[in-house]
Copies of this chain bind each other. A is one copy, B any other.
């Protein structure tokens, strides 16, 4: 989040920014900003603030955004296609190198520069040339089996859009994006409002 704010300031041409300014943009507090940033080192100058481009570059390094990562998509439905087509990801260093599906109607179709491959090829492909991040866009029922195959193929990081908690070894990092859950949270906010 700090990086996103810093990049805004970069575009505005600001040379330095104070913890107070960062906090206002990021929805935080000045003390919180200073504590968070100090975890990784002393980037600011007293009396001046934080140097915008240098700190942005530093955070990019910390986050590993100074290199490119190889992504494979499994489940090339509309959501998957939306992701592959999203230019913002390539700009940030995330390259989709393959897309897979189990549906014969989808296999062979093109999404941007990728041709959708048969999910049966997944294991062999992973063995041939690895991937850094596996993106799961399959229905919930298929997600766990696909995740297991990704991990067996050497993938240690998974972005999961299926609405199930994946059970994977602890060395695998999983991030879940579950629209159902998000909407249920909003539903709770709406329900609260009505009864108050």
Residues of chain A whose beta carbon lies under 8 Å from any beta carbon of chain B: 1, 3-4, 25-27, 62-65, 69, 77-79, 81-83, 85-86, 88-89, 92-94, 132-133, 156-157, 159, 163, 165, 173, 175, 177, 179-194
Contact = CB atoms under 8 A, between A and B. Distances in A.
8 contacts: A64-B187, A64-B192, A78-B81, A79-B86, A81-B82, A88-B163, A133-B190, A157-B186
A27 B165 contact: yes
Nearest to A195: B64
User: How many protomers of this protein does the assembly include?
Assistant: 2
A69 B159 CA distance: 28
Contacts of A190: 64, 69, 132-133, 156-157, 173
A89 B179 contact: yes
Q: DSSP majority for the A interface?
A: helix
A132 B190 CA distance: 8
Contacts of A78: 78, 81-82, 85
Contact of A163 (B4, B93, B179): B4
A189 B157 contact: yes
Nearest to A176: B182
A173 B186 contact: yes
Given A77-B82, A78-B78, A78-B81, A63 B179 contact: no
